[in-house]
Amino acid sequence: MERCAARRAPEEERRVRANAREYNEKFQYASNCIKTSKYNIVTFLPVNLFEQFQEVANTYFLFLLILQLIPQISSLSWFTTIVPLVLVLTITAVKDATDDYFRHKSDNQVNNRQSQVLIGGVLRQEQWMNVRVGDIIKLENNQFVAADLLLLSSSEPHGLCYIETAELDGETNMKVRQAIPVTAELGDTSKLARFDGEVICEPPNNKLDKFGGTLYWKENKYPLSNQNMLLRGCVLRNTEWCFGLVIFAGPDTKLMQNSGRTKFKRTSIDRLMNTLVLWIFGFLVCMGVILAIGNAIWEHEVGICFQIYLPWDEGVHSAFFSGFLSFWSYIIILNTVVPISLYVSVEVIRLGHSYFINWDKKMYCAKRQTPAEARTTTLNEELGQVEYIFSDKTGTLTQNIMVFSKCSVNGHSYGDVQDMLGHKAELGERPEPVNFSFNPLADPRFQFWDPSLLEAVKLGDLHVHEFFRLLSLCHTVMSEEKSEGELLYKAQSPDEGALVTAARNFGFVFRSRTPKTITVHELGQAITYQLLAILDFNNIRKRMSVIVRSPEGKIRLYCKGADTILLERLHPVNQDLTSITTDHLNEYAGEGLRTLVLAYKDLEESYYKDWSERLHRAGSAPEAREDHLARLYDEVEHDMMLLGATAIEDKLQQGVPETIAILTLANIKIWVLTGDKQETAVNIGYSCKMLTDDMTEVFVVTGHTVLEVREELRKAREKMMDASRSVCNGFSYQEKLSTKLTSVLEAIAGEYALVINGHSLAHALEADMEVEFLETACACKAVICCRVTPLQKAQVVELVKKYKKAVTLAIGDGANDVSMIKTAHIGVGISGQEGIQAVLASDYSFSQFKFLQRLLLVHGRWSYLRMCKFLCYFFYKNFAFTMVHFWFGFFCGFSAQTVYDQYFITLYNIVYTSLPVLAMGVFDQDVPEQRSMEYPKLYEPGQLNLLFNKREFFICIAQGIYTSVLMFFIPYGVFADATRDDGAQLADYQSFAVTVATSLVIVVSVQIGLDTGFWTAINHFFIWGSLAAYFAILFTMHSDGLFRVFPNQFRFVGNAQNTLAQPTVWLTIALTTVVCIMPVVAFRFLKLDLKPELSDTVRYTQLVRKKQKTQHRCMRRAGHVGSRRSGYAFSHQEGFGELIMSGKNMRLSSLALSSFAPRPSTSWIETLRKKKGCEGSSAGSPSGAASKTLKV
């Protein structure tokens, strides 16, 4: 993120004095202006051109253009290079200008927002960019916070205000902030204008949940925390107004500090293409050197004898200098091996693929009216090469909508619905939900299926009453009553909202709160409890408590938290109840529910007074405040009495288990990185079938020290290796260790999973242990990282990128996923419940996790396939075109004479061959989309990078050189002795050029017809249209009319008509075409027959199905008059065939392949996977391997 102000030295601490701009300006703090744009009107052209010429290809073509302006070495006109170069530069400049225009628009929109600033005791409207550190600004309800502010006062009692932080941390629930008491009374502008307090605090940083500082005012000091801060990006809610002191502005705000620079992402094909272009350039130089040497030798031995009528050009005095000039001439002529149109074509194809994603109705969410969106056009083909997916959990795999499902109260479990026979009812057999009509304040959307819990409430069960009383008191939920009885809860977490709503429906209605009281309607009776203390939740405590005084004067602590923490803090008398409740917790966890344990403790008045005084002193401590508070919290939360447990269902998004299963079959490994606790993450892991009971073992790493973590990882690897040794007979441990350890671990027998906590992960990611962690994790089928920070998410992704050299994809929906999304090769944002920060940082976005399956297996695989076929054909056609000049050099005295005329050279890549290859690159398919989803193994060639790599590149080059040899020597051999119909000699330069050019256009057109796997009307139009355009332009350029207009440019009148009127020429073209194409056709038929690819087998099964359906229809028509039994048989068979094809019942996979393709179809994939180190991939028997490949 760029700053509007100049860069400054890093701060050690920040000093801010209220209402003192002159004092604050001497520190040169950043203004509140934000700048993300790159250009302005003056700098756009020079800066953009400078950036474009940073690209090697553009610089290369500029260099060629300069060479072509030198008449001594140029045998081609300058327009053959400048036309495509200007086209490329213009298209790129327009795209960059459009992007920057929107950045300017966004900057202006933000910087010009209005804010009320207190200047000279008067509130003035100022633009955001004019706000300065130390200013006091006024915010009103529903306004965005302009900068990071210290809350001074508000319209609410006790200086409270409510904010929404969706744009900051992705959470849509309201949060509470409170001014310190000494400033909470500064409610009017006159008092605020006299406020001259000074804040000394931490320097700018990106920690959203922490702030430390001190306010010095009137010779007193007051500690400041994150609870006193309003951060930029928040929205003021349910608060009429508030005043705040600007502490951090503009790029120093925590929102901007977390934005970071978006890393430029380049695909592996891009990197390979750049390498290949350099190789081709080296090859071009070698050809130039060879021909230059040939020129020097020819001029010295032969040319010297013809100086009288073939004199050297002016300035050429030796054969050596002639060879030097010839080198540069051939560099110009042969430069078309890397045409500039390659880069334009690649961008056009990527743009087309992006539009296909945007237009895909099957990735459109009607409920939210959200389509899929490709936010970048540069990564589409990499979607077909993903090996690792890193996913957030809440809101990505789940809906982030919590439902109170079950509970355990005093040893009784509620929530299971039983049928008439007393058995557990299935989902479809459920009776009507519980009727809460007795409660006028009940939430009509809440549903519960076990009536016995409501009966217990009505019968006055004291334990059940206390259970729901705890749920209605122990929380931080805010209540808003829009009208009488219409309550709206604003909770910091969906879990809290679900629990308070459950208590509300069962008659314990949380009605309102003040900083010191909580009002609850208990079975219709309003009761106000005095709120003495809130012991807030954090990741270390994993629990939350409140201390309240009842109307009777009794002081009680209510606590809820994780079972692992709370059960060990209970009074010993709870032992039997704890055992029963633990069984219930295990049952709930097995069903994938999120659990909490509830407990309470009565406090003596004298003890509470003493504890409260110590709490006040700890809260005012200048140092180690949090440690003092934590010790006091821990002290009071002991010897509690167990009440029960709750079980909340965080519903999975639709299609998540199926999507994960399909992606796993595609050999994609899925890691879940979540900030949730371990129990919750593991439960969801089981729900979405990442973890199963059939797994050999699930390793849990929870060590708190480096040594503990290292030991737990070592034991996990040893267990996996022991299992591997027992299964792999005939292979010793030492033999396996001769390869990379990772390869051995990935070859283990059995399925394992790894669960690791955030504090353990911090040690595992240290430099001396990261490889051990990665080896262990990559050997597991599933990996779940719990309680991880946003930075740790990015570090895990970076670790896999660094050592595995695999394509990674990160998917999330919250602001805490942004760093992970930016770090991965591909970032996907879910537009869900947690704001739009993740979407804004992503490369692709949609609304549901299940669409990831289609994005990768259909769009990604097709994009990779199309781009690979495009590049293979592109390099082939250009080598076939260019190498003809090389062979001709040996027959023209190495004089840099071109075979084709300059107009053909200019139009070859722009008109004659551009559109057919673009159509193939945009529309081609190997199998239909349904088959891509049904057979995930089709995805593997992309992961192994099989379709375009250095080997495939050299094959294309070899085919292009082979074609060029035949393209030149067959016409050359024919023309040596051929004559016209009238007996005249056929062999003239222009006739030869027309013949070779026509042969070339026809051969490459036939070749792309063979390469095209999916024909559309556009393919037909472009291929046949390009051929027609070639002949139309050819005859036009040799026409009488064009000669009259441009006699110096088009002087060969009628040459094309005369040449193509000769049968010998057409026989030559036909012979050349057949000899060039037949080996390719023969090779492909043999490969299809002897070593078919999986896509070939899938296409074959599809053809067989179509034939069978056609036969069934014919037999049906033929037997129309037959018996009903016969008609029923055919009808039944056709219906069953449709059922199979729909995938609702079964796949044809094993049957089809064992019947139709008895040869191994995937052994080549397995061999290559072994070469990559994955020796454990099962090759199996031929039919077995094929069968496994096609199963879904």
Per residue in 91-115, is it b (16+ CB within 10 Å) or e — as a string? ebbeebeeebeeebeebeebbebeb
Fill in the amino acid letter for 342.
L
**CA count, 13 A, side-chain hemisphere, 584:** 26
Task: Tell me whether residue 505 is exposed, middle or buried, using C-beta atoms within 10 angstroms of its C-beta: 0 to 12, 13 to 18, 19 or more.
Answer: buried
Q: What is the DSSP letter of 365?
A: B
Question: Helices then strands (H, E): number in the chain?
Answer: 45, 35
8 A C-beta contact, residue 146 and residue 137: yes
Q: Which two tokens stand for residue 593?
A: 């529910």
Residue 1078, class by beta-carbon neighbours within 10 Å (0-12 exposed, 13-18 middle, 19+ buried)? exposed
CB 21 within 8 A of CB 132: yes
Whether the CB-CB separation of 342 and 867 falls below 8 Å is answered with no
Instruction: Return all residues near 560 (Cβ < 8 A) that are at least 6 apart.
Output: 470, 471, 474, 499, 543, 544, 545, 566, 596, 597, 598, 599, 646
How far is Cα 139 from Cα 239, in angstroms, rounded to an integer? 9
Cβ atoms of 593 and 683 closer than 8 Å: yes
Q: What is the DSSP string of 491-529?
A: -SSHHHHHHHHHHHHTTEEEEEE-SSEEEEEETTEEEEE
Pairing, β 807-812 against β 826-830: parallel
Q: Residue 661: name the closest of 940, 852, 888 by CA.
A: 852
The total of other beta-carbon atoms located within 10 Å of residue 927's CB is: 23
Q: Token pair of 99, please?
A: 């992007």
Nearest alpha-carbon partner for 466 in 403, 550, 533: 550
Strands 782-786 and 752-757, by their bridges, are: parallel
Contact 438, 454 (CB under 8 A): no
d(CA 886, CA 1174): 44
Distance CA 480, CA 511 (A): 8
Question: For the purposes of burial, counting CB atoms within 10 Å of the CB of 369, is it exposed (0-12), middle (13-18) or buried (19 or more)?
Answer: exposed
φ and ψ at residue 1031, rounded to 5 degrees: -70, -35
Query: For 1062, phi and psi rounded to 5 degrees?
Result: -90, 125
- Within a 10 A sphere around the Cβ of 242, how many other Cβ atoms? 29
Q: Is 397 helix (H, G, I), strand (E, B) or coil?
A: coil
Active site residues: 392
Extract the tokens encoding 173: 């629930």
Gap between the Cα atoms of 753 and 686, Å rounded: 11
Distance CA(23)–CA(29), nearest Å, equals: 11
- CA dihedral sign, ordered 9, 15, 20, 23: negative
Burial of 1168 (0-12, 13-18, 19+ CB in 10 A): middle
Task: Identify the H or E element spanning 1055.
Answer: helix 1055-1060
Helices (H), 334-460: 341-359, 451-458
